[in-house]
């Protein structure tokens, strides 16, 4: 009986007793969820256009952030280093398409997946050769990202919002909105969606596979740079940052590997739910550190009932 009380009653009583703390937890979960959604979007876009699960998305986050900081350390002004980093990501996208993807057209999916592992290993080695392996500090102030905090006193309590987190949320929302408009309203965006729906039909009407791949990988690079700046501002820039890509895996399983909206909603849901579970159930009952596994358990639970994810398309096979 006591166990049921601890699981079903006490957490909600704690939420009601300290609503200001609940708001703090929800905000921190929202920030994490926005970042998870950003990472997942990179995976989804590439998979939709090429049916490739891009194992290299994590190292692209690191490489973009290291390029930005590295250019600044070489004396390039921060506001100039930003577009130069975007240019580097464009060159990287063009190189991947020409050297890796084009020769592997029509190869089995596992071959393309292994190719992205090769891209990952290359970028790790190349990045360490160019930028070194030591940790670096993100140029937050030079990019005019505020570093203070905003304090609210709702319900007679205390809620603190880091300005860099608020900037990250607003920036991510703008980036996602621009991406959705691009995919739904522009000619190239519709071509990307058509390629994701039916490769053969899209190619038959003259859509260039090579061009779309370059564009999609470049967009993934832009998302990687945005993610690298935000995560780098929070935790520094190092090759350990690559592991954040694994946080996108449960988001993809929850939202569906082909759904842009699923990546967004799945990221927000996992970010908020894992933070709530950690604070109100994980720490009192399980000793904490539940954020390391909660998202995967939630995604597994969803997959048991909807293998394609909440927003994925149901596959119907006729035999």
* Residue range 6-46, pLDDT digits in tens: 788 888 888 998 899 999 999 999 998 988 898 888 888 88
Q: What average pLDDT does range 142-161 have in this prediction?
A: 86
- Which burial class, exposed, middle or buried, applies to 87 when counting CB atoms under 10 A from its CB (0-12, 13-18, 19+)? exposed
Q: Per the domain annotation, does 230 fall within a domain?
A: yes
pLDDT at position 278, please?
A: 92
56 in a structural domain: yes
Domain count, the chain: 1
What is the mean pLDDT of the segment spanning 154-170?
Answer: 87
Give me the domain span that covers residue 210: 2-305
The pLDDT, as a whole number, for residue 77 is 93
How much of the chain exceeds pLDDT 70, in percent? 93
CATH assignment at residue 40: 1.10.3470
* Residue 167 belongs to some domain of the structure: yes
Q: What is the pLDDT of residue 274?
A: 92
Identify whether 47 is part of a domain: yes
Give residue 69's pLDDT. Answer: 93
Domain assignment present for 74: yes
Indicate the pLDDT class of residue 206, thresholds 50, 70 and 90: low
Q: Classify residue 312: in a domain, yes or no.
A: no
Residue 246 or residue 280, greater confidence: 280
Distance CA 64, CA 300 (A): 31
Is residue 316 in a domain?
Answer: no
Q: Higher confidence at residue 203 or residue 90?
A: 90
Asked if 81 and 71 touch (Cβ cutoff 8 Å), the reply is: yes
pLDDT at 30: 93
Q: pTM of this prediction?
A: 0.88
What's the mean per-residue pLDDT of the chain? 86
**Residue 122 belongs to some domain of the structure:** yes
Question: What's the rounded mean pLDDT across residues 57-72?
Answer: 92
Mean pLDDT for 140-146 is 88
The arithmetic mean of pLDDT across residues 216-220, rounded, is 91
pLDDT at position 211: 84
Q: Which residue has the higher pLDDT, 264 or 203?
A: 264
């Amino acid at each position: 009986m006591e166990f049921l009380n601890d699981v079903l009653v006490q957490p909600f009583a704690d939420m009601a007793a300290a609503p200001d703390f609940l708001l703090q937890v929800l905000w921190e979960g929202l920030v994490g969820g926005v970042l998870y959604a950003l990472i997942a979007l990179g995976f989804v876009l590439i998979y939709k256009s090429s049916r490739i699960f891009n194992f290299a998305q994590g190292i692209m986050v690191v490489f973009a952030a290291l390029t930005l900081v590295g250019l600044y350390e070489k004396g390039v002004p921060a506001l100039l280093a930003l577009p130069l980093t975007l240019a580097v990501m464009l060159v990287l996208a063009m190189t991947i398409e020409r050297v890796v993807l084009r020769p592997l057209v029509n190869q089995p999916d596992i071959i393309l997946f292994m190719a992205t592992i090769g891209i990952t290993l290359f970028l790790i080695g190349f990045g360490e050769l160019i930028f070194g392996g030591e940790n670096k500090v993100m140029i937050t102030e030079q990019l005019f990202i505020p570093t203070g905090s905003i304090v609210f006193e709702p319900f007679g309590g205390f809620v603190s919002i880091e300005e860099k987190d608020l900037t990250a949320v607003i920036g991510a929302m703008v980036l996602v909105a621009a991406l959705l408009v691009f995919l739904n309203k522009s000619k190239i965006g519709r071509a990307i969606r058509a390629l994701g729906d039916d490769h053969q039909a899209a190619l038959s009407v003259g859509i260039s596979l090579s061009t779309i791949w370059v564009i999609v990988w470049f967009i993934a690079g832009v998302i990687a740079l945005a993610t690298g700046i935000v995560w780098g501002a929070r935790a520094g820039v190092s090759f350990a940052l690559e592991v954040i890509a694994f946080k996108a895996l449960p988001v993809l399983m929850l939202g569906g590997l082909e759904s842009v909206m699923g990546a967004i909603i799945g990221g927000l849901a996992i970010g908020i739910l894992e933070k709530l579970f950690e604070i109100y159930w994980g720490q009192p009952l399980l000793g904490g550190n539940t954020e390391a596994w909660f998202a995967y358990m939630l995604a597994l639970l969803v997959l048991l009932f909807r293998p394609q994810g909440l927003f994925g398309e149901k596959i119907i096979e006729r035999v």
